Amino acid sequence: MNTIQELREKRAKIWDNAKDFLDSKRTSDGLISEEDSKTYEKMESEVVNLGKEIERLERQAVIDLELSKAVNKPIRESIQTHEKVKTGIASDEYKDAFWKAMRNRNGYEIRDILQIGQDVNGGYLVPDEFERQLVESLEEENIFRKLATIITTSSGDRKIPVVATKGTASWIDEGQEIPESDNTFGQVSIGAFKLATLVKISEELLNDSAFNMEAYISKEFGRRMGAKEEETFFTGTGTDRPTGILSDTAGAEVGVTTNSTNSLNFDDLMDLFYSLRSPYRNKAVFIMNDATVKNIRKLKDGNGQYLWQPSVTAGTPDMILNRPVYTSSYMPTLGAGNKTVLFGDFSYFWIADRQGRVFKRLNELYATKNLVGFMTYQRVDAKLILPEAVKCLKQKA
């Protein structure tokens, strides 16, 4: 049996035992003793730790699969194929020249090839295959790139038409003039902000043919930029960075405000669920902090069933009210005035990637330390184009 599947089943079993224990120890007033509370929290902690281990093993499996791919081209008989020839920055020739340049094996012939993808500021556009690999790394670190709509823009602001108000039908008498009722349209503008990072690698490591520079840089850049993207997509102010979904301006609408500053209950979640219009609920998901999930784990619905339902299937998220639950450390914890739970259709959160990511090798900056710098940057913007599609739960101020 797969180790990850075993852990999922073990987590589900421990959670069932924890719920039974909690139910059996509750007194008539719904409370449990301090000793029983410690025992329950220990069981709950084991559920949380198993969940984190499952996530680690899943990420490890993805990395192992990537690194297990063949590094040499297999020998094949010469046969006629109808494969489309790759050109420009997608070509094998450009990819080979790109990585040779990054290792400083940069002769005139290589420079000529790299002119295909040279940036006006001296960098090189990332080869197509490497950019896809980098995007995959971003998806591992950034839940928004799994849920949002991603578009690619070439230059200038992207104007997105949005229906502001919709026309209606009317009952009229015989012979009465039909009243006009047109839709009114607005526009949401998506621009571009620069996100950049830099790593340093020793000359000795670069010259070591056993060092997989492509895999290392892809993973490290993906981790850094993905984490910063996710943080900003939640909390961004719109000034020198994208507008976050928690922003008071152009962010998610407040669906419900709790009666407590540091807790929530079943009624709060139900009010949040139904504050979202039914067309959006079909694809809606919850997003919250791990600490908020811990609070919800103890809640029951009107039939005595626990709201939180742990997943036992690989690739399937946990559920609350039969809707998927995603967690992020960048969501606020339970506290006065905080927006602690998001619920909605996140396909209305649009991410605009401007052209490709640019990659530069910095030879002289760290030369005295025998190091080489590698810098990458991308231009990206993000915005919730229809605020009514996502609702948030706000704690009492």
CA distance 344 to 38: 35
Backbone angles phi, psi at 383, to 5 degrees: -165, 145
Half-sphere exposure (Cβ direction) of 309: Cα atoms closer than 13 Å: 13
Q: Which residues of the chain have pLDDT under 70?
A: 1-2, 66-85, 87-90, 98-134, 136-137, 139-141, 155-156, 158-167, 170, 181-187, 209-211
What is the reported pLDDT for 54?
A: 83
Task: Name the residue with tokens 């419900």.
Answer: 256
Q: Look at residue 77 in the predicted model and tell me its pLDDT.
A: 47
Residue 48, helix vs strand vs coil: helix
CA 318 to CA 30: how far, in whole Å? 26
pLDDT at 353: 87
Amino acid letter, 249:
T
Between CA 308 and CA 300 the distance in angstroms is 8
Tokens of 93: 């020739």
| pLDDT confidence of residue 1 | 46
In the prediction, which pLDDT does 243 show?
Answer: 92
The burial of 7, by beta-carbon neighbours within 10 Å (0-12 exposed, 13-18 middle, 19 or more buried), is given as middle
